[in-house]
Amino acid sequence: MPISRNLFQRTDKGPSSPVWNHLLTSLLVLALGIATTGALAIEAKLAATAQKATADFRWLVLVRGTQLQIDEVGSYLKKLDGVEDASLISPSDVVDQLKKEPLLSGDSDLLDPALLPPSWEVRWSPEHLRLEDLQDTLDEVKTVPGVIDIAFDQHSLDRLHQLRLHRLELDAVLGLAGMVTLIFLFILYGRLLFFTGGENLDVPRLIAMALVDGLSWAAGYFLIVGIVAPASWYLCLGGLLVGAIRYSVISVRK
């Protein structure tokens, strides 16, 4: 049986046009593909932004004491969970870094490197930094002998917390939607196959609907990829799942 015949086969006795119904359905699948791919693309973009922000986040641990004490502080910092690396910075290097900051470049000329203590610059691993433990780690490091104080950009830390919160919220919504979809599909096909013995399963029509919905979904996928951001290629196959669900709903209602 041709795909067009399977696709436009009447499923009820209503007066509406099958062509119009399927056109409207294709538009809805297109919108669903845009929404789903867009949400996942935004999630991926948030993850990349959070990773870069974590890599740029720094601690400047001001230290004093003998060279041995300063080295012991560095060894301690390098062993902290989530730390990627720690490097010793001389007072003159601190002044040079301050000169690169637009808001501090004027005031940095007044600083005398001889009056500044040496510092350890701590860089964090985007994969292993635990923001929920960072305050405890901060308090712990401040008690280490030889540590004067710890300087960092509070705005950057607040931004990291916001990015993480947005990702968790979006992941929760996407995860719940995916779980509900799979449960819904399992129930529908369980009823279709086990309660009817598979007698109502029209494989050619199932394939036709899956292909048409797959094309509509793929159009939305490529639209988002071109405008927002790249997304995983397998997301363009979501329309096949939508077509399978739509066919099962129609078959169960017969």
Average pLDDT over residues 114-132: 87
What are 48's two structure tokens? 């990349």
Of 135, 152, 169, the position where a domain reaches its end is 152
Same domain flag for 45 and 70: no
Eight-class DSSP state of 57: -
Domain count, the chain: 2
**pLDDT tens column, 30-52:** 888 888 888 888 888 888 899 99
Q: What is the pLDDT of residues 209-243, one digit of tens each?
A: 888 888 888 888 888 777 766 666 667 778 888 88
Residues 111 and 129 placed together within one structural domain of the fold:
yes
Residue 8 sits at the vertex; the CA angle it makes with 3 and 11, to the nearest 5 degrees, is: 125
**Residues 213, 249: one domain?**
yes
pTM over 0.85: no
| Same-domain check for residues 44 and 166 | yes
What CATH number corresponds to the domain at position 70? 3.30.70.3040
Last residue of a domain, which of 131, 152, 173?
152
Q: Residue 57: pLDDT above 60?
A: yes
Amino acid, single-letter form, for residue 85: D
Q: In the predicted model, is pLDDT for residue 103 greater than 60? A: no
> Structural domain of residue 133, as residue ranges?
58-152
Question: CA nearest 131: which of 50, 247, 202, 14?
Answer: 50
Identify whether residues 147 and 165 lie together within a single domain.
Answer: no
Residue bearing the bigger pLDDT, 169 or 226: 169
91 and 23 in a common domain: no
Domain endpoint, select from 152, 170, 201: 152
